[in-house]
Copies of this chain bind each other. A is one copy, B any other.
Amino acid sequence: MSLSRIARNLDLSITTVSRALGGHHDVSTTTRLRIEAEALRIGYRPHEGARRLRRGKADAVGLILPTGLGRFDDPFFLRLLSAVGPALAEAGLDLLVSSAPPGEAELAAYRHMVEGRKVDAFLLARMRGRDPRVDYLQNADVPFVAHGRSASLRPYAFVDTDGAAVVAQATHRLIAFGHLGIAFLAASGDLSFSTAREAGWRQALTDAGLPATAIFRAEPTEAGGFRAMHALLRDVAPGNIPISAVVCATDRMAVGVLHALAETGLRAGRDLSVIGFDDHAFSSHTAPPLTTIAQPIEAAGRRMVAMLMQLLAGAEPETLSEIMPAHLIGRASDGPAAETSRIETLKGQTL
């Protein structure tokens, strides 16, 4: 099971066995062959732990899932994991996963991995506007690649989706449909993906000379979307909804919005247009099927791993960044604004 065992069996030194198996040049072909045969015979596998101790590297990367309030379900992370796992494995790196709610516990989880030298680097997901994880890791001089941007003094390596551009595109689609009161349902919690998407919505409205005032925010879950839309509908006289379309920061929120509409007897896609973001598996099976935006999560995960390898090979973080395009998928939850709806909209612009 160990180098010493092979060395003993073959009456060679441990050094020679190590160098033979390591593919170094100063071992004769005959010896190398003998060693390889013996290694195969006894089923030798290097002891990763010993190797890592000696090399001073953990050969592992950490990923700490930001648990939400209450239940934690977001398909985003699973899709990221399923792409990142194999890519990392291929590079010979282990993936250490933990989870913690943002806050002190989260930083403690990072510290735990860093101080125990369990990982060489991190993968960060779901960036926040001002992200304490970035500060900590930069200070501790631990390399990392993030999915998403956040405000930070020093640049870092990241992959991001061009949320602003594609949401602007989606908003223009609504404008072309004749909508005038187009709201944005933002995610609470200073999440940068939401900020970027909101900027796209704002830009599109401004470009069209429309006011970007109808913004409301909620937890980025189905329940959050439901509650927000429900509150909006409740506070307003029936038939007098101040908006005719809503762009949601996530598909999950859009599902909640759809539900709130259905409950009030409003038809999504006709009485009110709804657009989501993510194109999760359920999004093509809602009622009506959700018009949404597909972002390349799996590709982003693989790209993040590739960047991590470069970082570990000594590349400078500021040279590593990529913004990936997302694309709109038109389904049935949006459509032309009804005449009445247009009129109501003009009346009730303030929200």
Point out residues on A near B: beta carbons under 8 Å. 45-50, 52-53, 58, 60, 63, 65, 67, 71-75, 77-79, 81-82, 85-86, 88-89, 94-100, 109, 112, 115-118, 221-223, 225-226, 252, 255-256, 258-259, 262, 280-282, 284-289
A-B residue pairs in contact (CB < 8 Å), sample of 15: A45-B117, A48-B116, A73-B75, A73-B280, A81-B97, A85-B100, A86-B100, A89-B98, A94-B118, A95-B98, A96-B96, A97-B97, A223-B285, A259-B287, A282-B282
Q: How far is the CA of A77 from the CA of B99 in the complex (A)?
A: 13
Residue among B46, B221, B285, B287 making CB contact with A281, cutoff 8 Å: B221
A82 x B67 contact (CB < 8 A): yes
- Interface-central residue, A63, A225, A287, by most chain B CB under 10 Å: A287
Residues of B within 8 A of A286 (CB): 255, 259, 286-287
Question: For the complex formed by this chain, how many copies does it contain in all?
Answer: 2
Residues of B within 8 A of A288 (CB): 262
- Interface-central residue, A53, A112, A289, by most chain B CB under 10 Å: A53
- Interface-central residue, A53, A82, A280, by most chain B CB under 10 Å: A82
Q: How far is the CA of A238 from the CA of B49 in the complex (A)?
A: 65
Minimum distance in angstroms from A74 CB to a CB of chain B: 7
Residues of B within 8 A of A221 (CB): 281
Residues of B within 8 A of A65 (CB): 78, 81-82, 85
The chain B residue sitting closest to A259, CB to CB, is B285
Residues of B within 8 A of A259 (CB): 285-287, 289
Residue among B60, B85, B99, B117 making CB contact with A85, cutoff 8 Å: B99
B53 x A50 contact (CB < 8 A): yes
Minimum distance in angstroms from A222 CB to a CB of chain B: 4
B73 x A78 contact (CB < 8 A): yes
9 pairs of A and B residues whose beta carbons are closest in the complex: A85-B99, A259-B285, A287-B287, A97-B97, A72-B82, A45-B115, A222-B285, A73-B75, A48-B116
Residues of B within 8 A of A289 (CB): 259
- Interface-central residue, A52, A74, A89, A288, by most chain B CB under 10 Å: A89
Q: How far is the CA of A100 from the CA of B89 in the complex (A)?
A: 10
B287 x A258 contact (CB < 8 A): yes
B47 x A117 contact (CB < 8 A): yes
